[in-house]
Amino acid sequence: MMDTGYDQIASAPPGFFAEEVTSVHHWTDRLFSFTCTRDPTLRFTSGQFAMIGLVVGGKPLVRAYSMVSPAWEEHLEFLSIKVPDGPLTSRLQHIRVGEKVLIGRKPVGTLILDNLLPGRNLWFLATGTGLAPFMSLMRDPEAYAKYDRVIVAHTVREAKELAYRDYITQELPDHELLGEDVRAKLTYLPAVTRESFPVMGRITTRLESGAAEREAGVAPLDPAHDRVMICGSEAMNADCKALMEARGFVEGTNNAPGSFVVEKAFVTK
């Protein structure tokens, strides 16, 4: 047997489901995604995250991962970076179809529609794997019921890191249940910062200059009408949060919905 660096899971430790991996996709040498079965009793809201991982040396080794899949989907999907010396991702990147992963029984998180007030345009600001919760939310019919437009601004270093680009542009508009809403309301704004691409530059820079709204063809961000969800690195989150607050946006919580919410795109190890 090849030494994978992780144990094959026979039964789930307390607090977890053991789910079978059903597909693995390697986007780049730094980025992969996988799907797995979903226990019928697992409940979550689109945009939330769960603790997921492996068993290593007999113990759970888990990190927070946003669900890529929407709440209504039968299976689960996750998007992950690969960090060569990261305790979990250096192992998880070798996962194969038929093997089992741990899925925490209690998903949580702030990037949920209930934490935002109703409004006009709903913006998703994502960098890197921060796209994950928005893949879930852009497939939740409630997003289209509550807002006139849903704008997905995904910024990465290089174009090949624009995960799900083909899915969003080619497949989602023809989706049996969501296609009509997607065609009428979803705007996808892919951007790249470190090589030539039709739209270049950080989302912060493009919001400061008003370029992002022009790219989307919508009115300038206005806290009276627009809502924003932010998910990226610690620095990206902090910069976007400051930018929103400077414009009068108020952070929403599980107790009091607001005009923006923010969460870390977790796994960095």
Kindly list the residues in this chain that would bind ligand A2P in the complex (CB under 6 A).
Answer: 127-128, 155-157, 193-194, 202-204, 232-233, 235-236, 239
C-beta of 6 vs 134, nearer to ligand A2P: 134
Which CB, 42 or 79, lies closer to ligand A2P? 79
Q: Which is nearer to ligand A2P, 184 or 235 (CB)?
A: 235
> Is the Cβ–Cβ distance between 59 and 53 less than 8 Å?
no
Strand 16-28 versus strand 31-36 pairing type = antiparallel
Nearest-approach distance from CB 205 to ligand A2P, in angstroms: 8
Q: Which positions ≥6 away from 40 have C-beta within 8 Å? A: none
Query: CA-CA distances (angstroms) from residue 257 to 87, 142, 210?
Result: 36, 16, 26
Q: Which is nearer to ligand A2P, 109 or 128 (CB)?
A: 128
Q: Write down the least CB distance from residue 160 to ligand A2P, Å.
A: 13
Chain centre to alpha carbon of residue 148: 21
- In the bound complex, what is the minimum distance in angstroms from residue 101's beta carbon to ligand A2P? 24
From the list 214, 209, 242, 211, the residue with the least C-alpha distance to 228 is: 242
How far is Cα 229 from Cα 209, in angstroms, rounded to an integer?
A: 19
Between 103 and 229, CB nearer to ligand A2P: 229
Helix-then-strand count for the chain, H and E: 8, 11
Q: How far is the CB of 265 from ligand A2P (least distance, A)?
A: 8
Q: Closest distance between ligand A2P and the C-beta of residue 126, in Å? A: 9
Backbone angles phi, psi at 162, to 5 degrees: -80, 70
With a CB cutoff of 8 Å and minimum separation 6, the contacts of 230 are 125, 130, 236, 237, 240, 241, 244, 260, 261, 262, 263
Tokens, residue 24: 């693995």
CB of 99 to ligand A2P, least distance (A): 28
> Could you tell me the smallest distance in angstroms from the CB atom of residue 130 to ligand A2P?
8
CB closer to ligand A2P out of 117 and 211: 211
107: number of Cβ within 10 Å = 22
- Nearer to ligand A2P by C-beta: 100 or 154? 154
